[in-house]
Every structure is written in structure tokens, then in C-alpha cells.
Chains A and B, each alone.
Chain A
Amino acid sequence: MIRLLWAVIALVWAQIAAADTMRLAVTTSFENSGLADVLVPAIKEDLDLDVQLLVVGTGQALRLGQSGDVDAILVHSKTAEIDFVTQGHGSHRREIMYNDFVVIGPVADAASISGASGAEDAFARIAVAQVPFVSRGDNSGTHKAELAIWQRAGIDTNATLEWYQSVGAGMGAALNTAAGLNAYVLSDRASWLNFGNKDGLALLYSGDPALFNQYAFIAVNPSKNAHVRNDLAILLETWLTSTRAADLINAYTINDETLFVFNATPQ
């Protein structure tokens, strides 16, 4: 028994050899899409580079980049990204691909948004019907996209609205909450398709170009944080904009549905 325990202790403290590694902050929605499980091994194969993913909200991703705690970020919130670059935290912004947001809601669709003419119309119908809506409420890219639609629909979500629930959580948690409350929620398509607890929910509206969700890659500015591995970040950027990446991204499907459209412009 004691010998066995020692063996376990030895095993527990055994170290794993470290290879050439860089850290990339990505958003929860990107991780939930499962695309990373395709891209990361391909990067390792092509570049012999270990990409360590930090899966966080957009706000935290930008903060990690600002402190130099990651070497690059891959997020989807254009305004915040442009600010990030303007403030000198990143050298430049490179668009890689987009997917789209979808409106999820109870199968019964009490607000009948499935017949909406556009994203704004769908949101307006929810507001009129006063049916529960779950908001991420966490300053993430998805949250910001949602707020922009409400604004265009002319609805002030800062006002006290009985039916508007801000949960301050990630995509999965927000979907779980929506399932529990039988509520509407804005999600990225990938998270929705991979979500395991669909219980009573269905995809009710999608397709408006206003719901397109652009992902961009920003290498953290090495002149502000001398220790960041800018060389590796640039290597990764080149790979992400290559035809090899384009093929992998465009070919990625869940349940036979394409999720991402590669739209990087080669340099």
C-alpha cells in the first residue's frame, strides 16, 4: 500500500517538458465552437508551436493583452479592438474570419420572431411581447453585439424591464439560464450548436448580415511589453491568414452546418 502511494506521489510530481509556447487569449464563444480543437493541433504540426489558449470574456482578453500576460488575442468586438490598437496595446488588427449570431428562444415562440424581417424587428417583437430575455451582461463581444441591436431597435435596456435578465455570465451559462427560464437569448451559432442542454429551446431567427460576428487577431505590442513573444505571434498571424487555415476554417462543420467564413486578406 505504502509503496503504491509513493509511486502515485512520484507520478503526481512528474514534470512535463515545455516546448516553444505562446499564449493566446480567445473568447468563450470561439472555444465553445470547437474550432480550436482543429486549429491548435494543425499549428503544432505546421509550426511546432504550442498555442496555450486562455478562454476568457472579451473584456478580460483585452485586459490580459494590455498587461502583456498573453502574446496575442483573438476576439470579436470591433470597437473595443480598434481602441486597443489606438491606445498602443496592439500593433495592428487583422480580420481572420466571421461567424454569425443567432436568436434562440422557447420552441413555442410566443413573440413569433421566426417571421421577423430583420434582427431589429426580432428584438422589437420580444420587447412588445414582454417575454423573458437573457442578456450576457458581461461586456463580452456577444453582449456588445446584442446591445447594438437593442439600440437600433430603439429600446433602452438600461431602463428597468421586468422581462430583461442580465446574468453577467459566459455564453454557456447564459444558455443554461435561458433554458431554465424559457427565455430568449442571443448566442453565437457555434456555441448554440455545441450546447448540450438545449432543453425546450430552438434557433428561431438568423441570417441578417447585421448578425455577422467578425473575429480579429491582434498581436500584443512588443514595444510596451518587451517579454511578449511577438515573433511567435506574427508567425501565428501568418499561419491564420494562410490558405491552409482558410481550408480548415471553411471546412469546419457541426451537424453538417458550416460555422465560420474565412475572410482574411493576404498581405
Chain B
Amino acid sequence: MSAQFPLTLNNVLVRRQGKTVLGPVDHVLNAKGATIIIGPNGSGKTTLLRVMHGIERTTGGQVTWAQDDPAKHAFVFQTPIVMRRSVAKNLAYPLELLRVSKDEIAASVDHWLARIGLERSRNSPATRLSGGERQKLAIARALIRQPDVLFLDEPCASLDGHATREIEHLLKEVASAGTRLVMATHDMGQARRLANDLVFLLDGKIHETGSADALFAAPATAELAAFLRGDIVT
């Protein structure tokens, strides 16, 4: 389906104020599945996601898409960014930027409002939504361009169980429809529920990576084992 993949990270390095926050990282992301990035706070999860999406400048190395189309990858931030306009207009915004026809926009907006259950809030200010609704809106807005890959940075970090379940349900649906997910989380339960592949970051480097089933069953390194147990790993 997607000519964009694979996404290749070659010797990627990000330094800020003399400190290495990420890298060097070598990784190849293929077209299928859901990759979950785990690791302690400050291990570089957010930076890795932003580098892959192309909104964070690298200090060294290359991030290469087989065929890059920025409209075909989208990003969901930890704190949802809600625009100061109505719910429907929030959803329409990414399509308006691409000069999609009005009819198509209306149809897409209707479709996504239904999927995230916000039809009733269609014309109310998005800034009035609850935390969970805001994040659902942000995810729907990211998906409305039908991206091949969706990057998510701890989207459920500040949400309650109900909202988290709804969002996970939505993410499973879009993943099974073929959208590539790359998500950072610190919720190991969520990682188990969603992951096909796992990337374990430690101190800015990929410490261990592989299929989720294998890694959860038998971590190769003592650090991942400790991290999965819930120990503090630095």
C-alpha cells in the first residue's frame, strides 16, 4: 500500500546544548504493524518520534523515507493541541490546507465526528471539550488526511481509563485498516495491548528492539527485564 516505507534512520544524532538527547540511532521502520516505543523518562522517546516525523532537526545522520510525502504521516502530541474554533472546523483544517473540495471535507468531517462520538459537539468550541474528547479530536484530525503512518507521543498520558479504552479501540481499528502506528507510552499494559514491535530506549539509544511477543516473554537484556518488572532503570 505505501510507497513511503521503509523509513530508515541512519546514525541519527540529536544534541541540545552540548548534551546528546538521542542517538546514535540506526533503525528501519517497515510498512506494517504497530511499533511501541518504551523507556524511562528522558530516554529520548519524544525526540525519536519527532525526528521520524521530521519536526525535530537532527545534529547528525539521515532520516530517509523511501518516498516522502509529508501529508501522509501525522502526529499526535502528548497534550492535545486544540485549535480555537469549532470541533468540525478543527477536523476540516488539515484538509483545507490541502485544498480538498468542500463536499469531500464535509463528508470526511461527518465520518470522523461519528467515529469519535462527537456529532453533538460539532459546532461547539473545541476548547470546551474534556481532556479525553480533545485527544480523540486530535487523533481524528491527524487521521483525516488518511495518513500511512501515525506517530503518537503518549496520547493517553493524562487520561482516565474510560478515555484510554476508547482511544485504544480507535487505534486498533485504524491499525487493522492498514495505518502504521508508532507510539511512545509509559503504560506497559497499553504496550502489551497494542504492540507488534517494541523499541526500548535507554539513555538516547535503542537498547533492545524486536517483536513485542518475544520481548515481553523473554527480554534479552537485564535493563529491559528490570524495566518491564517496574524497576527504576537509568
Asked if A and B touch directly (CB within 8 angstroms), the answer is no
Taking Cβ atoms with an 8 Å cutoff, the residues of B that contact A are none
